[in-house]
Chain A
Amino acid sequence: MTALESTPTVAGPPAGAARPAGRRRDRHHRGALRWIVLAAVVAGAVVMLFPFGILVLNAFKSPAEYSTSGPLSLPTEIYTSGMVDFWNRVNFGQKLWNSFFIAGSVAVLGVLISLFNAYALGIGRVKGRLSIVVLFLMANMLPQETLIYPLYYIAKEIGLYNTQLAVIIIFTVIQSAFGTYLLASVFGTFPKEVLEAAALDGASKWQTLWRVVFPISRPTLSVLLIFFFIWTWNEFFIPLIFLISNDNQTVPVALGVLEGDRLMDATTTSAAALLGVVPAIVFFLIFQRTLARGITAGAVK
């Protein structure tokens, strides 16, 4: 009610005598308004979380109970055999390992390649470095569709089709394109005195890289490592094309193919989707602080 009464003051009272009274009223009105704002923001957050909530509610419901009392009721008993059956049917443990192996390898190799490239570009300042950096940046924007068929064809020709190695190589290059761009600009501001001191000490380029540049830039590298891991874990398109046999598939591909083919009933789908969501939430909780640092750093160069 107070909010209604005092709406005209929202735009701010004009200068002069009206000001002190207006400000007092404004503060008063904000006191009520802030609760309304809070309620609105919380309501929005509830809508955001609704899909996850309803998913958890049904992941442990028996198919019989789902068909009689629907998706909105609380489960009367915790039914886990749907999830266990799904786990065994698709050999979910193996899918987790595949995802972990591919994403982990890409993260390590991608950071290594980014480090080498950026060492040459940012610290070595090789000729033409600007155009090389732009090239890497462009590669990062390319839609994967424009590379996919030739990659698929080449992989078939050299016997790498349907292998995890092919996916690892491709994503190492794609992720390191971004990593090179980012690290090269970070290394551009690398303290010169440090490098000079290393040179005076007689360190070779290789030694300078590993004993000076690497330890100093470790915080940046660890952010890149985590980002490469999560990005690769979440990838769908290229793994979908390249990993056709069940034994090789990653978590998103295994779930996506099953759902795309509408092969699962409602409770199995919710159990399966929950299994796909949980690792992501675990990573989020583990890496929360690094992620927050990284997302925002990415935005302002």
Chain B
Amino acid sequence: MVATPSTPHARPRSRGRVASGIGEGGRAYWLYLLPGGLLFLGVIVVPFVMNLGLSFAKWPGVGELTWVGLDNYTELFADDAFWASFRNSIAMIVAMVIAPTVIGLLLAAVLFDVIGKRFGGRSASALRAMYYLPQIVPVAVAGIVWGWILRPENGALNRLLEAVGLGDLAQNWLGDPDTALPSVMAIMVWVQIGYPVVIFMAALQRVDPELYEAAEIDGAGWFRRFRAITLPQIRPETFVVTLTCTIAALKVFGPIFVLTRGGPGNATNVPSYFAYQNFFEKARVGYGAAVATMLTLIIVVLSIAFIRVQAASERKERG
């Protein structure tokens, strides 16, 4: 997506004006940061600091605010609902990072060098578009579609199971504490899968085909080529996909709101929904702020760790 350095528009310009260009030092450029910087301050920095402050207070949203030091955090660590929400975050990481990345890698490789080469590029891109479709639908709307399919009475999935003679498996998918989380996880796999497929297929295009040809001549089978060439070659993209998907998994809110509202009980509650409940349903603003702060902390620490590991592995590769 680099802007193509084409020839400049060599329009005749009025001469004689003072040359005020790059040679003069960068001071005037600060002016261009002013609108964006002020907005950033008001919308990101100030609210962020306020939220951090609120996490050390008790406040119902109106009236008196009492400072309580670390009370919210100590309460948080003893709160089963908080731990349940973070356990469910791990489930979301399985459903939104691990499963889509693994399936996406295999699918992209198959689409690229089996379907693409034997059945033509058009069938490969048509199939890719089908896998990508759930990604373009607003995630809240995707949640509505699935909530509708999984309805216990007369829902499409239960009816389908009955139609193929597996009626015993019919469930109240989202209403039963045992099936609610696996159902949400399956939905998130469906939502997420197209993203790695598209990224990995694009990545494969820049892998030198001679590598594959050489390996094929040496008698390496498809799976061996996949492991020895494909995986190492597209490692940068794999890093980016796992990082962005992990952040998305930790932030997930819309599908939970639409599908289960965190229930039944706390079976599908996640940190972002748990924070929302405390902010807007229970009027426990300080406690909600502490949950949000913990979530932020985890995301920042994970991102830094990810980037470190990536940098280290790149260094190792260069020797």
**A positions within 8 Å CB-CB of B:** 9-15, 19, 22-23, 26, 34, 37-38, 41-42, 44-45, 48-49, 51-52, 54-55, 58, 66-67, 70-72, 113-114, 116-117, 119-121, 123-127, 132, 136, 138-139, 141-154, 169-170, 172-174, 176-177, 180, 182, 186, 189-192, 194-205, 208-209, 211-212, 215-220, 223, 230, 233-237, 240-241, 251-253, 255-256, 259-260, 266, 269-270, 272-273, 276-277, 280-281, 283-284, 292-300
Bound: A138/B40 CA distance, A? 12
Asked whether A283 and B26 contact (CB < 8 A) given A142-B48, A216-B6, the answer is no
Interface centre among B115, B144, B289, B295 (most CB of A within 10 A): B144
Q: Judging by beta carbons under 8 Å apart, are A255 and B141 in contact?
A: yes
CB distance from A161 to the nearest CB of B (A): 13
CB distance from B99 to the nearest CB of A (A): 13
Q: Judging by beta carbons under 8 Å apart, are B1 and A220 in contact?
A: yes
Q: Judging by beta carbons under 8 Å apart, are B46 and A150 in contact?
A: yes
Residues in A whose Cβ lies below 8 Å from that of B154: 66-67, 70-71, 266
Residues in B whose Cβ lies below 8 Å from that of A127: 26
Residue of B nearest to A154 (CB): B47
**B positions within 8 Å CB-CB of A:** 1-6, 8-11, 13-23, 26, 28-33, 35-37, 39-40, 42-44, 46-48, 50-51, 54, 61, 107, 110-111, 114-115, 118-119, 127, 130-131, 133-134, 136-141, 143-149, 151, 154-156, 159-160, 163, 190, 193-195, 198-199, 202-203, 218-224, 236-237, 240-241, 247, 250-251, 253-254, 257-258, 261, 271-272, 275-276, 279-280, 285, 288-289, 291-293, 295-296, 299-300, 303
Bound: A238/B291 CA distance, A? 17
Bound: A203/B18 CA distance, A? 8
Asked whether A141 and B219 contact (CB < 8 A) given A220-B1, A237-B253, A299-B202, the answer is no
Task: Give the contacting residue for B140; candidates A123, A136, A215, A255; CB below 8 A.
Answer: A255
Asked whether A146 and B296 contact (CB < 8 A) given A241-B280, A281-B136, the answer is yes
Number of A-B contacts (CB under 8 A): 359
Q: Judging by beta carbons under 8 Å apart, are B114 and A37 in contact?
A: yes
Q: Judging by beta carbons under 8 Å apart, are A139 and B44 in contact?
A: yes
Q: Judging by beta carbons under 8 Å apart, are B44 and A277 in contact?
A: no
Residues in B whose Cβ lies below 8 Å from that of A294: 1
Task: Give the contacting residue for A149; candidates B29, B107, B144, B288; CB below 8 A.
Answer: B288
Bound: A10/B225 CA distance, A? 11
